[in-house]
């Protein structure tokens, strides 16, 4: 284990940006950990182990300080130096804990103290809280997590007796709940194709009249995820019950009450997946009424648009990148292809909604578990879809600034409630033409670049999107 990549070069962490004390503390922590890792004796002494344990406490204080600075500014205005300070402190903590765990002394005491899981938690916080800011830090954190997870598996096999796996109380098969959302009538279906050839798919994407949505069937049946992810306990144990993930709270991100929080995988599953979020506190379903009063519904939690598979490589082993992502889409205005295929996870209960929006890339949306209702509108319909900021009016300077911020954040999102539109506010929406589908388990929807799409989960759902 080395400090490759965790150096003071190519960084905003300077005495001028961060102040003398935080800068000096980080430099001292880096120097001490480097000295510990460079020891030639593989059987670290108790003195070096104690020094590492003291170092962890010092780094914790530095992370707490950086955490406070992250919250001292609006999210988009946090200076890079504080994100980098939090990132480097978290990496140093993970490495120090890994050093402790890898020592002979620590392994002998592993039944009472296994610091590898806190090390992985530190990496999770770096990714989620600070985006692993800094030169080559994100890839370093991913590699560190992979290494630490392997050490956890090996250590638990050699030091802990077999024990019965804790269950989450989940249904036997995901996506097959007795209570599912209302299923819309499909009037303008998206065509389905059985395993089109690569040439056929490329011709479709690069056609002279522009690409249109299609559904590809039977292309992901070989994924282990198709079977493994139907069981919540398997998902929980594979991902790691204590792994930290960001989730959205609220049915959709355009709601005023929408917020985000960090939870463990187990907390997310037990609080938002096992229990139907549309079920009230008495066990009745939210669409039911008693004595003319609406039931209080539990907030919906959604693990949405998160690079879960880089953060948790063991889940990545259950899927493959579709070969269709390897075609070369033609140049289009505004299209800037990513350097590599971008994967995102979408895991949540029935009732989650992605408001109608566009993405900056071509998209293959693979439905692994559950069903989703999806509606799409072509780019030519944009003028009828009322994206945020499109109908601004004159106002005060403060209102104009709020309008500008809203446009920047939601400029790719429609204001229309697709399945319950307010046609007095958005009259042109009634004229917009669309196609739609209910995406079934095992199907892959191709969403062309610049196409608007609206998605609602009809059951517990786990999807993977591939941007290319």
Summarised one tens digit per residue, pLDDT across range 287-303 is 444 444 455 567 899 99
Question: Secondary structure of the chain in the HEC alphabet?
Answer: CCCCCCCCCCCCCCHHHHCHHHHHHHHHHHHHHHHHHCCCCCCCCHHHHHHHHHHHHHHHHHHHHHHHHHCCCCHHHCCHHHHHHHHHHHHHHHHHHHHHHHCHHHHHCCCCCCCHHHHHHHHHHHHHHHCCCCCCHHHHHHHHHHHHHHHHHHHHHHHCCCCCCCCCCCCCCCCCCCCCCCCCCCCCECCEEECCCHHHHHHHHCCCCCCCCEEEECCCCCCCHHHHCCCHHHHHHHHCCCCEEEEEECCCCCCCCCEEEEEEHHHHHHHHHCCCCCEECCCCECCCEECCEECCECCCEEEEEECHHHHCHHHHCCCCCCHHHHCCCCCCCCCCCCCCCEEEEEEECCCCEEEEECCCCCEEEEEEECCEEEEEECHHHHHHCCECCCCCCCCCHHHHHHHHHHHHHHCCEECCCCCCCCCCCCHHHHHCCCEEEEECCCCEEEECCCCEEEEEECCCEEEEEEEC
Q: What is the mean pLDDT of the chain?
A: 85
Q: How far apart are CA 463 and CA 344, in angstroms?
A: 8
* Average pLDDT of span 83-104: 91
> pLDDT at position 6, please?
59
Residue 109's pLDDT band, with cuts at 50, 70 and 90, is low
At residue 173, the pLDDT reads 74
Residue 107 pLDDT exceeds 70: no
Predicted local distance difference test score (pLDDT) of residue 392? 45
pLDDT band at residue 285 using 50, 70 and 90 as cut-offs: low
Which pLDDT score, from 0 to 100, does residue 46 have? 77
What's the pLDDT score for residue 292?
44
Query: Which pLDDT belongs to residue 277?
Result: 61
What integer pLDDT is reported at residue 279 of this predicted model?
Answer: 61
- List CB contacts of 206: < 8 A, sequence separation 6 or more: 327, 329, 330
Q: What is the reported pTM? A: 0.84
Say which range, 103-112, 130-139, 345-354, has the weakest mean pLDDT. Answer: 103-112
Backbone angles phi, psi at 137, to 5 degrees: -70, -40
93 compared with 153, residue with greater pLDDT = 93
Give yes or no for residue 275 having a pLDDT over 50.
yes
pLDDT for position 266? 96
CA distance 263 to 255: 21
Higher pLDDT, 265 or 40: 265
pLDDT at 149: 84
C-alpha 202: how far from chain center: 29
pLDDT value at 128 more than 70: yes
Lowest mean pLDDT among 104-108, 268-272, 338-342: 104-108
Q: Domain coordinates of the chain in residue numbers? A: 15-159, 192-378+433-467
Sequence-separated (6 or more) residues with CB below 8 Å from residue 268: 245, 247, 301, 303
Residue 165, pLDDT > 80, answer no
pLDDT at site 44: 60
The pLDDT, as a whole number, for residue 301 is 95
Calculate what percentage of the chain has a pLDDT beyond 70.
80
Dump pLDDT digits (tens) for 176-231.
665 566 789 999 999 999 999 999 999 999 998 899 999 999 999 999 999 999 99
For 306-344, what is each residue's pLDDT tens digit?
999 999 989 999 999 999 999 999 998 889 999 999 999
Q: What is the pLDDT of residue 403?
A: 47
Determine the pLDDT at residue 407: 45
Q: By mean pLDDT, which of 64-78, 162-176, 305-319, 423-437 is the weakest? A: 162-176
Fold topology of 192-378+433-467: Jelly Rolls (2.60.120)
Cβ-proximal residues to 261 (8 Å cutoff; 6+ apart), any chain = 246, 247, 249
């Amino acid at each position: 284990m080395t400090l490759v990549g965790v150096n003071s070069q190519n960084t905003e962490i300077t005495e001028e940006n961060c102040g003398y004390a935080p800068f000096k503390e980080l430099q001292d922590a880096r120097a001490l950990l480097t000295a510990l890792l460079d020891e030639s004796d593989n059987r670290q002494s108790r003195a070096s182990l104690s020094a590492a344990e003291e170092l962890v406490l010092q780094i914790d204080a530095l992370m707490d300080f950086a955490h406070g600075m992250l919250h001292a500014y609006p999210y988009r205005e946090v200076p890079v130096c504080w994100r980098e300070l939090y990132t480097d402190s978290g990496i140093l903590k993970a490495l120090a804990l890994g050093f402790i765990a890898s020592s002979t002394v620590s392994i002998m005491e592993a039944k009472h103290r296994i610091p590898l899981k806190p090390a992985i938690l530190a990496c999770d916080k770096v990714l989620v809280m600070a985006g692993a800011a800094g030169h080559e830090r994100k890839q370093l954190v991913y590699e560190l997590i992979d290494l630490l997870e392997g050490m956890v598996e090996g250590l638990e096999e050699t030091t802990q007796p077999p024990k019965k796996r804790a269950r989450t109380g989940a249904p036997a098969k995901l996506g097959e709940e007795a209570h599912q959302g209302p299923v819309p009538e499909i009037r303008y279906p998206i065509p389905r194709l059985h395993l089109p050839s690569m040439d056929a798919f490329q011709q479709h994407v690069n056609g002279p009249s522009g690409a249109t949505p299609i559904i590809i069937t039977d292309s992901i049946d070989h994924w282990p995820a198709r079977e493994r992810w139907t069981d919540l306990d398997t998902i929980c144990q594979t991902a790691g019950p204590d792994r930290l993930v960001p989730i959205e709270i609220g049915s959709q991100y355009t709601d005023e009450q929408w917020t985000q929080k960090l939870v463990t995988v187990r907390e997310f599953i037990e609080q938002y997946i096992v229990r139907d979020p549309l079920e009230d506190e008495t066990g009745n379903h939210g669409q039911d009424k008693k004595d003319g009063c609406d039931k209080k519904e539990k907030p919906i939690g959604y693990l949405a648009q998160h690079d879960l598979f880089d953060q948790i490589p063991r889940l990545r082993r259950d899927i493959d990148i579709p070969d269709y992502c390897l075609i070369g889409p033609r140049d289009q205005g505004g299209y800037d292809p990513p350097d590599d295929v971008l994967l995102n996870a979408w895991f949540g209960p029935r009732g989650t909604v992605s408001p109608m929006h566009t993405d900056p890339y071509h998209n293959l949306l693979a439905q692994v578990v559950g069903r989703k209702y999806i509606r799409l509108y072509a780019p030519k319909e944009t003028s009828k879809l009322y994206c945020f900021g499109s109908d601004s009016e004159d106002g005060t300077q403060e209102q104009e600034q709020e309008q500008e911020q809203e446009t920047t954040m939601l400029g790719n999102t429609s204001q229309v409630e697709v399945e319950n539109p307010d046609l007095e506010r958005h009259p042109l929406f009634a004229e917009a033409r669309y196609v739609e589908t209910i995406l079934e388990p095992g199907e892959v929807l191709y969403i062309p670049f610049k196409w608007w799409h609206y998605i609602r989960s009809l059951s517990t759902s786990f999807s993977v999107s591939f941007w290319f």
